[in-house]
Amino acid sequence: MLSRFAKTPPQAKTERVLREKTLKMAATMESSSDEEEGCTFIQVLSEKYNPENFPYGQGVVVMPSPPGSPVKGRLFLPNMLVLSDAGIRKAGDRSDIAAFCAHVLELDLSHNQLNDWAEISTIVSNIPHLEFLNLSMNPLSGIELEPSMAEVFSRVRQLVLINTQVSWDTVHTLTQQAQELEELFLCLNGYNTVSESQTSCPSLRLLQITDNQLKEWAEVRKLGQMYPSLKTLILANNRVDSVSDTRETLEQLFPNLRTINLNNSGLSKWEDIERLAFFPKLEDIKAKGIPLLQPYTTHERRCLLLAQLPSVVLLNGSAVSDGEREDAERLFIRYYQDCPEQELPERYHILVSKYGQLAPLVEVDLSPRSTMVDIRWGDRVEAVSLRLEQTVGDLKKHLRALLQLPTSGIRLFYIDREMCSVLGPEELKCSSRALHSYRIRDGDEIEVVPKVKSRCSSSDL
């Protein structure tokens, strides 16, 4: 007899199903909660660089897990860690970071979910030899960095903050504390102005600030004042529309600048190009896609730019030879020599004092030549205009289509009407030879003859 507390089989099955559903819902909620919290730096590190996923090789350090660490076993860790696009939101245990990353020099954390400078500072502070840090594509808009947290960036030499929407205040906090910072990348951050800093960053050598919305030269001027030791300034894909300072100001603004990239900027006046020559050490310029150069041919663009920039040795990525420079400067003189005196640029007078007044180049007509000849095919005669730059082979193809000639093969004979009684017909044998080499003239004749197959065949032997 069953106890009154015993469950009948249908009841037990129903409760079991309910219990399983409850457990699944709880697991789903826990998983959803974990996704919202994101992964930790240590979790991703231990997953990617464990022996099963990352092979041991040159430059890799085998790191045993410290006592008490949730990371079990060993990790194979190179000195350059790439942990991009991994959902990292938190740092994790700082003692584990310190234990595993003491030898790390470069760290790529791009495309993660880091939105708290405290978490980033925890990671950086426990990597004592870190020199390169990439935080691109992390959501740092509106997240300010406290100066006390920024001290941990003091050894970083290269900092990449592309498309983070990081504020200028945070940039200034970082550059003030990162006293060894040499390269800074601030592309795609939506800047239309530059916020000035009370403290300069004399260590910075390269600034890449492409694909923003800077337009006024006054904003670029601020960069020169904040980063006086810049050697490379990459401003491509901003709409900077002028270089509007005096010679004295420009000489002092970027005294060490050697490379500038103004591709796809808004420069529209030759005076702006002239002023670039005032930077005392500038030797490498990129200026493709600017409105100023649109009316000119590719050759004219390079020559006119080069003639205005006497110290440049690299223009748009190509080295400048002495011969190319001289040709460009001579073209520059001829280009402007018919302009009114008041329109002549200063550079024109400098180059005339160097080369003197140059005679205009003789115009030579290099357009393709053509002539009218009679094409004879049996009793049929057609007047045809020949392009003399084409070859014998080209002519044969043209005649087959024009005269509906058989495709089995033809022979061509050139008849010079003035000399035919002396020389006779000349067969056009070489398919690659140009027609102009035969000195064909109007009124001459070309006879088309079908090729005759030999009557002797292998069956006759």
CATH number, domain with residue 274: 3.80.10.10
Does 104 score more than 60 pLDDT? Answer: yes
Q: What is the DSSP letter of 444?
A: -
Comparing CA positions, the residue from 80, 98, 91, 106 lying closest to residue 39 is 91
Say whether both 167 and 133 belong to one domain: yes
Q: Would you place residue 60 in the very low, low, confident or very high pLDDT band (cuts 50, 70, 90)?
A: low
Which residue, 323, 355, 387, sits at the end of a domain?
A: 355
Q: Give the model's pLDDT for residue 137.
A: 98
Say whether both 143 and 291 belong to one domain: yes
Mean pLDDT of 261-284: 97
Element housing 414 (H / E): strand 410-415
Among 50-54, 176-180, 359-363, the range scoring the smallest mean pLDDT is 359-363
3-state percent helix, strand, coil for the chain, nearest multiple of 5? 35, 15, 50
Does 180 score more than 90 pLDDT? Answer: yes
Say whether both 318 and 433 belong to one domain: no
Mean pLDDT of 391-406: 80
Among 103-112, 181-190, 336-345, the range scoring the smallest mean pLDDT is 336-345
User: Which residues are within 8 A (CB) of 449 and not within 5 positions of it... i.e. 6 or more apart?
Assistant: 410, 411, 412, 413
Mean pLDDT of 413-419: 86
Mean pLDDT of 405-423: 78
Say whether both 245 and 106 belong to one domain: yes
Does residue 184 form part of some domain? yes
Laid out side by side, the sheet with 445-450 consists of 380-387, 370-377, 445-450, 410-415, 426-427
Among 31-35, 188-192, 203-207, 388-392, the range scoring the smallest mean pLDDT is 31-35
Q: Give the model's pLDDT for residue 409.
A: 76
Does residue 63 form part of some domain? no
Does 454 score more than 80 pLDDT? Answer: no
Does residue 360 form part of some domain? no
Say whether both 285 and 375 belong to one domain: no
Structural domain containing residue 436:
370-450
Report the DSSP beta bridge partners of residue 135.
Answer: none
Q: What is the DSSP letter of 391?
A: B
Which residue, 296, 331, 355, sits at the end of a domain?
A: 355
Does residue 406 form part of some domain? yes
Say whether both 293 and 199 belong to one domain: yes
Which residue, 355, 387, 414, sits at the end of a domain?
A: 355
Q: Would you place residue 62 in the very low, low, confident or very high pLDDT band (cuts 50, 70, 90)?
A: low
Write out pLDDT tens, residues 305-320.
999 999 999 999 999 9
Say whether both 426 and 302 belong to one domain: no
Tell me the C-alpha to C-alpha distance, in Å, between residue 113 and each of 32, 88, 135, 143, 388. Answer: 16, 6, 10, 13, 68
Does 239 score more than 90 pLDDT? Answer: yes
Mean pLDDT of 212-237: 97
Say whether both 144 and 278 belong to one domain: yes
What is the number of other CB atoms lying within 10 angstroms of the CB of residue 293?
Answer: 19
pTM to 2 decimal places: 0.71
Q: Give the model's pLDDT for residue 81.
A: 96
Among 78-87, 179-188, 239-248, 427-436, the range scoring the smallest mean pLDDT is 427-436
CA–CA distance, 404 with 392 (Å, rounded to integer): 18
What domain count does the chain have?
A: 2
Q: State the CATH number of the domain containing residue 443.
A: 3.10.20.90
Does residue 363 form part of some domain? no
Half-sphere exposure for 227 (CA within 13 Å, toward CB): 25
Coil, strand or helix at 144:
coil
Say whether both 350 and 380 belong to one domain: no
Say whether both 265 and 382 belong to one domain: no
Does residue 69 form part of some domain? no
Q: Would you place residue 215 in the very low, low, confident or very high pLDDT band (cuts 50, 70, 90)?
A: very high
Contact 162, 186 (CB under 8 A): yes
Mean pLDDT of 358-364: 67
Does residue 328 form part of some domain? yes
Does 29 score more than 50 pLDDT? Answer: no
Say whether both 202 and 326 belong to one domain: yes
Q: Give the model's pLDDT for residue 361.
A: 66
Q: Measured on CA atoms in the order 192, 195, 196, 199, is the torsion positive or negative?
A: negative
Mean pLDDT of 90-102: 94
Average pLDDT, the chain: 86
Write out pLDDT tens, residues 244-253.
999 999 999 9
Does residue 27 form part of some domain? no
Mean pLDDT of 234-238: 98
Say whether both 274 and 410 belong to one domain: no
Q: Give the model's pLDDT for residue 359.
A: 80
